[in-house]
Amino acid sequence: MNKILVTGGAGFIGANFVRHLLEHSDCTVTILDKLTYAGNKESLAGLPASRVKLVVGDIIDTELVDRLVAAHDTVVHFAAESHNDNSLREPTAFVRTNVVGTFELLEAVRKHGTRFHHISTDEVYGDLELEDSQRFTETTPYQPSSPYSATKASSDLLVRAWVRSFGINATLSNCSNNYGPYQHVEKFIPRQITNVLTGVRPKLYGSGTNVRDWIHVHDHSSAVQRILEAGEPGRTYLIGADGERNNLEVLRQILELMGRPRDEFDWISDRPGHDLRYAIDATPLRQELGWKPEFQDFSSGLERTIHWYATHRQWWEASKEITETQYAQQEQLVEGVKSS
């Protein structure tokens, strides 16, 4: 039976991944998570204690990381500071966790010969034009825009260097925007859903034309599991489900599914350096590893996500208040952007 160490397993994607692993394999899992504002023990509620253990700790803790890595066969590394808006306000933790934390894990897997999978993002490639047939591929040059994406790019480069220089057994994946249950309410989709649920007007940045390539978090999990099973050592795989949509379209879909008027939202000042468009070409993952997404219908995935937030208020209500107080300090309403 595989013993897997999952960093960041109390966060959005990590918690969904742990649930997926338990359902689709017979492994045991240790979660190493600092339980920052983004980590939530409740996301692990109901999981069997015989197969899952939570260690509350920091990935920059050299000794702790060394001890845990030594006791596992595989490390899947999700832990990160993950929100662009926070990285613009206070980037320190991003450098510390995303760069130094990844370095600590790499040193430990180098020492113990442990299999390593590094979770990253499509944001390392910068952005694409709206009217462009191009999508990101494994060979697209790195050009990160925000402190968040720059630290993720740095961590990817560390992993690649440890593969080439020290021959560690590692794979990497860069995924597009995830949505689904257990996502922190600071992120776009859960923020708007929980705004509607609490009688607050949703907030759209800038012109609303920015495009994100949405993938359901369960499809991200199945892709990572497939890479763990069959990925080629040293390779990078891009994960995406052909889900390009602009923010205005997504917001209108949420409003429609929640029975609200299509213009019942506020236009907000734009995010500085706001990436225009992300789009993933996941052909190698599909063709070489035979992976395919299950959640092809965005509208029904969104409907299920809305239902999850509507029926799990206790999970998000406390962080909603803190998050919106923080947003209120930085956001300004803007006039004159016209909806179409």
**Residues at the site binding ligand TDX, with contacts judged by CB under 6 A:** 82-84, 121, 123, 177, 187-188, 191, 203-205, 210, 212, 247, 271
* Closest distance to ligand TDX from the beta carbon of 312 (Å): 19
Say which DSSP state 277 is in: B
Whichever of 83 and 117 has its CB closer to ligand TDX, that residue is 83
Q: Which partner, ligand NAD, ligand TDX, none, binds residue 14 by CB below 5 to 8 Å per kind?
A: ligand NAD
Whichever of 41 and 313 has its CB closer to ligand NAD, that residue is 41
- Is residue 148 part of the annotated active site? The answer reads yes
Q: Does 258 bind ligand NAD (CB under 6 A)?
A: no
| Distance separating alpha carbons of residues 154 and 255, to the nearest angstrom | 38
Relative orientation angle of helices 188-197 and 313-330, to the nearest 10 degrees:
100
Beta bridge partners of 136: 280
Note whether 72 and 5 are within 8 A (CB). yes
CA angle 276, 277, 282 (to 5 degrees): 160
Q: Does 190 bind ligand NAD (CB under 6 A)?
A: no
Q: Does 36 bind ligand NAD (CB under 6 A)?
A: yes
Q: Does 218 bind ligand NAD (CB under 6 A)?
A: no
Q: Which residue from 177, 183, 180, 173 is spatially nearest to 218, judged by alpha carbons? A: 180
| Distance separating alpha carbons of residues 337 and 339, to the nearest angstrom | 7
Residue nearest to ligand TDX (CB): 121
- Is residue 123 part of the annotated active site? The answer reads yes
Q: Which partner, ligand TDX, ligand NAD, none, binds residue 110 by CB below 5 to 8 Å per kind?
A: none
* Closest distance to ligand NAD from the beta carbon of 65 (Å): 9
Q: Which of residues 77-116 bind ligand NAD (CB under 6 A)?
A: 78-82, 97, 101
Cα dihedral across residues 244, 146, 120, 330: positive or negative: negative
* Closest distance to ligand NAD from the beta carbon of 302 (Å): 15
* Neighbouring C-beta atoms of residue 10, cutoff 10 Å: 27
Q: Does 180 bind ligand NAD (CB under 6 A)?
A: no
What letter represents residue 179's amino acid?
Y
Note whether 47 and 18 are within 8 A (CB). yes
Whichever of 38 and 268 has its CB closer to ligand NAD, that residue is 38
Q: Which of 30, 84, 87, 177 binds ligand NAD (CB under 6 A)?
A: 177
* Closest distance to ligand TDX from the beta carbon of 250 (Å): 8
Q: Which partner, ligand TDX, ligand NAD, none, binds residue 203 by CB below 5 to 8 Å per kind?
A: ligand TDX
Q: Does 58 bind ligand NAD (CB under 6 A)?
A: yes
Q: Which residue from 144, 303, 274 is spatially nearest to 211, judged by alpha carbons? A: 274
Q: Which of 76, 105, 119, 128 binds ligand NAD (CB under 6 A)?
A: 119
Note whether 154 and 118 are within 8 A (CB). no
| Distance separating alpha carbons of residues 231 and 75, to the nearest angstrom | 14
Taking the alpha carbons at both ends of the chain, their separation in whole angstroms is 55
Beta bridge partners of 54: 31
Q: Which partner, ligand NAD, ligand TDX, none, binds residue 212 by CB below 5 to 8 Å per kind?
A: ligand TDX
Q: Does 33 bind ligand NAD (CB under 6 A)?
A: yes
Distances (CA, A) of 26 to 2, 23, 70, 214: 7, 8, 20, 29
Give the burial class of 263: count Cβ atoms within 10 A of its Cβ; 0-12 exposed, 13-18 middle, 19 or more buried: exposed
Q: Which partner, ligand TDX, ligand NAD, none, binds residue 13 by CB below 5 to 8 Å per kind?
A: ligand NAD
Task: Check 58, 123, 213, 324 and give the catalytic one.
Answer: 123
Task: Check 81, 122, 156, 186 and give the catalytic one.
Answer: 122
Distances (CA, A) of 107 to 57, 93, 102, 161, 236: 17, 20, 9, 12, 20
* List of residues contacting ligand NAD (CB under 6 A): 7-8, 10-14, 32-36, 38-39, 58-60, 78-82, 97, 101, 119, 121, 152, 175, 177-178, 184
**Active site (catalytic) residues:** 122-123, 148
